[in-house]
Amino acid sequence: MKREQVSDIYHSMLDRAVSLKSIQKRRAGWFSAARLTAFVASAIFAVAAITGLPELWWVSGALFVLFMMLMVMHERLNNRIRFNAAVIQALQQETEAMTENFASFDGAPEFLTEAAFAGDLDLFGEHSLFQALNRTASPGGRNKLARWLLEGLTDAETIRQRQEAVKELSGMYEWRIHFRAHGLLAVEKEKASDSLLSWLAMPPLFNGLLFSILLYLIPLISVAAIVLVAAGAITGGVFLFFFLLPIAITGMYTAKINRRHTLLSRKVELFGKYAERFRMIEDRVFSSRQMKHFSESLHSGAQSAGRGIHKLSRITASLDARLNMIAGLLLNFLLLWDIRQMRRLEKWQKNYGSLIPQWFEILENTEALSSLGAFACTGPEFIYPQIDPDGPVVCAEAAGHPLIPERQRVSNPACLEHWGEFNIITGANMAGKSTYLRTIGVNIVLALAGAPVCARKFTCRPVPVFTSLRTSDNLATNQSYFYAELLRLKELIDRLRKGEEFIILLDEILKGTNSADKQSGSRALVAQLTQMGASGFIATHDLELGRLADSFAGKVRNYSFEAEIEGDELRFDYTLKPGIARNLNATFLMKRMGITI
């Protein structure tokens, strides 16, 4: 499918959602007017009944019931309005993404320090890969997607299964938009599963026989006390005793109830959004193995995740009634409310508690998969790479950087057939060497996450990247630029010695020292890396490093990016060519800036 076709699908969905918004707005106005009319009419008839027409109580009561029904229906409409608003927001962001503008999505900058290659490849932050991918709506889903980029899969079959799920979800436009819209309905500052797991770890308090008896006995005593005091059979003092008795029983456990309630309090809306999202996974018939497994796992037997979380939402809403002091006193007097709701929670805990970690893991995985599916739609020209443990280390045709707009993108090949091989990339300043390395790195990260890559063809082994592209000094630790680079290279050597495998991307190695040191050091490093069976790409301005191919025949190949100087014009075609670069441009650029040579 072409980009324009995908964009048309989103715009069509957006037009329908905007039209629905207008209809819902008119209906909401009608409900508001009808509610007000019913309430005022009920009040008028009630006044008339009080002033001498008692038969009008029935009319007043019927109108009040109508008012309550209209209020419930209006609230349901408001819920649909809020959901449609979230759908519009999600669709507006997707239409922006189709123009390769991802600014409305979160880039998760805090993950930049998780790994050196995250900063080297712009995986997080503004204008990052994560920002282009991210359609998550929960902290758990966001963390899951970030971990997928930082910790690529190394099993080819697992990657293929994830690709299959991403491919299926990419074509489910309306499902993905609605799944995300439900997630946008409630703001979540921390993982809901964390507070749930903390609560689930607490032992039950009210599962004894005594509490079962009290829950039946207290309502009988309270109602009897009301009847007796109304009939004048007991004094106000005696009634006060019966009023305070259940409150005193509850008060003995208030501190413990508060600790548990704090973990669930005011999460009704949040649990409601999770219930809807679980239902969407449960009710959909999927074809991919991974999504089919997720769907089946959420409604195994009678323990449905959607129903279970919805039930938890209702119980939590009931418990939240205690937050109103007057309501809390009356409910505890009549029904021993706090203990009654805690008993319901403990029963829920027993029935569903062991399933919570699995449920939320499935939801987080689905959020991450849905994000990759949405990303696939923003680049319909992207392809799903072939992951072959016995194939070439990496071999790509027309590989481009996915964050460079399609109309500006220049694609190039990249190929390493066997371990122990290196491609040396020489070229002038600004000719495209660093972008080329990042293109390779970012596409490998995408491939190991199960996402499509920006290339015409792409095959690689399930091996992560190791980068040294943006080494910097550190004044706080008195660490020089050159020493920081050496530490990074030492880490590489140490990990290779431990048996780890990487596709290595190095930009201007040993650039913190003089030319003679750089050449001899670079030669020694490449020799050691090839002997250790490592493979990768090394970009450099130093044309002398191109001579390494003479010393490592069959192990080192030269490629270059050229700069063409025509009169006062400097031109780049950003196209990879075989051999060592011929033209450099530093002197030319200095002259253009007015620096005398």
**pLDDT of res. 595:** 52
H-only helix segments in 151-304: 156-170, 173-184, 192-200, 209-231, 236-251, 254-264, 268-283, 289-298
H-only helix segments in 431-547: 433-449, 481-497, 515-531
**Which residues sit opposite 33 in a β-bridge?**
none
The pLDDT of 303-332, averaged and rounded, is 90
**pLDDT of res. 16:** 97
**pLDDT of res. 567:** 62
**pLDDT of res. 85:** 97
**pLDDT of res. 299:** 84
Q: Counting beta carbons within 10 angstroms of the beta carbon of residue 328, is it exposed (0 to 12), middle (13 to 18) or buried (19 or more)?
A: middle
Name the least confident of 21-30, 446-455, 456-465, 537-546.
Answer: 537-546
Give pLDDT tens digits for 397-420. 999 999 999 999 999 999 999 999
Alpha carbons 570 and 426: distance in angstroms, whole number: 17
* Residue 395 three-state SS: strand
Query: How would residue 285 be classed by pLDDT, with cut points 50, 70 and 90?
Result: very high
**pLDDT of res. 477:** 42
Alpha carbons 3 and 374: distance in angstroms, whole number: 12
Q: In terms of pLDDT, which residue wins out, 531 or 343?
A: 343
Element (H, E) at 424: strand 422-427
**pLDDT of res. 385:** 97
Q: What is the CA radius of gyration of the chain?
A: 33
**pLDDT of res. 546:** 79
- In contact, 88 and 18? CB cutoff 8 Å: yes
The pLDDT of 433-451, averaged and rounded, is 96
Q: In terms of pLDDT, which residue wins out, 516 or 135?
A: 135
Give pLDDT tens digits for 22-62. 999 999 999 999 999 999 999 999 898 888 788 888 998 89
**C-alpha angle 78-325-330 in degrees, rounded to nearest 5:** 95
pLDDT of residue 454 exceeding 80 = yes
Name the least confident of 1-5, 149-153, 400-404, 437-441.
Answer: 1-5
Mean pLDDT of the chain: 89
Alpha carbons 119 and 129: distance in angstroms, whole number: 11
Query: How would residue 596 be classed by pLDDT, with cut points 50, 70 and 90?
Result: low
Smallest CA-to-CA distance from 300 within 278, 270, 332 is with: 278
Query: How would residue 430 be classed by pLDDT, with cut points 50, 70 and 90?
Result: confident
Smallest CA-to-CA distance from 538 within 559, 553, 516, 562 is with: 559
Note the CATH number of domain 386-592: 3.40.50.300
**pLDDT of res. 590:** 45
Q: How far is CA 583 from CA 120, 174, 429, 560, 579, in A?
A: 27, 52, 10, 10, 12
Amino acid at 468: S
Could you tell me the residue ranges of all domains in the chain? 1-99, 192-367, 386-592
**pLDDT of res. 465:** 96
**pLDDT of res. 547:** 81
**pLDDT of res. 471:** 59
Query: How would residue 589 be classed by pLDDT, with cut points 50, 70 and 90?
Result: very low
Give pLDDT tens digits for 133-192. 999 999 999 999 999 999 999 999 999 999 999 999 999 999 999 999 999 987 777 766
Q: What percent of the chain has pLDDT over 90?
A: 68
Q: Tell me the CB-side half-sphere exposure of residue 522, using CA atoms within 13 A.
A: 30
Q: What percent of the chain has pLDDT over 70?
A: 92
Residues 473-482: contacts with CB within 8 Å, 24+ apart? 480/512, 481/512, 482/510, 482/512, 482/513
**pLDDT of res. 480:** 58
Give pLDDT tens digits for 338-394. 999 999 999 999 999 889 999 999 999 999 999 999 999 999 899 999 999 999 999
**pLDDT of res. 475:** 41
Give pLDDT tens digits for 193-225. 788 888 888 999 998 899 999 999 999 999 999
Give pLDDT tens digits for 468-485. 987 554 444 445 567 777
